[in-house]
Chain A
Amino acid sequence: AQTVTQSQPEMSVQEAETVTLSCTYDTSESDYYLFWYKQPPSRQMILVIRQEAYKQQNATENRFSVNFQKAAKSFSLKISDSQLGDAAMYFCAYRSAGSNYQLIWGAGTKLIIKP
């Protein structure tokens, strides 16, 4: 069975600096998708970025980028120029390419932005 591990329960960063959130996963599959979701204090879950495992190029979305290391089964999220609005819980998630339904979620990392 697949598992997703986020080893950092909490991270803090100074506003305008860069922070990296870690995520590792375990799978025997070769085709899958990875996601980072953000859950601000409002508690609504919002997709930040996604990566297809068959793509070698790392996904980027404005200030958010990932470092996808398929062999190491690592999928870290880098947030550049951190802003106060980035403060939230961040969840890493895995979905098998063979499944439309089951997302495997990490436990989350709480990101604190220091003004």
Chain B
Amino acid sequence: SQTIHQWPATLVQPVGSPLSLECTVEGTSNPNLYWYRQAAGRGLQLLFYSVGIGQISSEVPQNLSASRPQDRQFILSSKKLLLSDSGFYLCAWSWALATNEKLFFGSGTQLSVL
């Protein structure tokens, strides 16, 4: 069976510090991978998606970047965090080539930038 791991669960970082959130998927190959952000009391905003190693598409211009160094690894990064980067970050995966397939979500990371 497939599983998705996302860590850390919570993170408190000062403004201007770097960020690295990691997500890995097990039990499948060549998944589509996604990073979402959820502001408090709001819906999800797609930040990045990837259809393969080294292939990253950005949906929203921002202070963040993403990388996919391995097939089942997706990393969200920032060189210098802003207060506005605070939020709940969710990693997700889906089967490739299936538009009606559901997303499988990780357990999320609550990021607080102080």
Contacts and interface: CB of A to CB of B under 8 A. Distances in A.
B88 interface: yes
Contact of B44 (A33, A44, A97, A103): A103
Given A50-B100, A107-B42, A101 B105 contact: no
Contact of B99 (A4, A100, A107): A100
A101 B107 contact: no
Interface string A98-110: 1111110111100
Given A101-B46, A107-B43, A45 B99 contact: no
Contacts of B108: 43-44
A47 interface: yes
Interface in A42-99: 42-47, 50, 52, 91, 95-99
B102 A101 contact: no
Nearest to B45: A105
B44 A47 contact: no
B102 A50 contact: yes
Contacts of A96: 99
Give the contact-size bracket for chain B: 20 to 34
A35 interface: yes
Interface stretch (B12-20, B66-74, B75-83, B89-97): B89-97
A100 B46 contact: no
B107 A100 contact: no
Contacts of B32: 100-101
Given A45-B90, A45-B103, A91 B98 contact: no
19 contacts: A33-B99, A33-B100, A42-B107, A43-B88, A43-B107, A44-B106, A44-B107, A44-B108, A45-B44, A52-B100, A91-B43, A97-B100, A100-B94, A100-B99, A101-B49, A105-B44, A107-B43, A108-B42, A108-B43
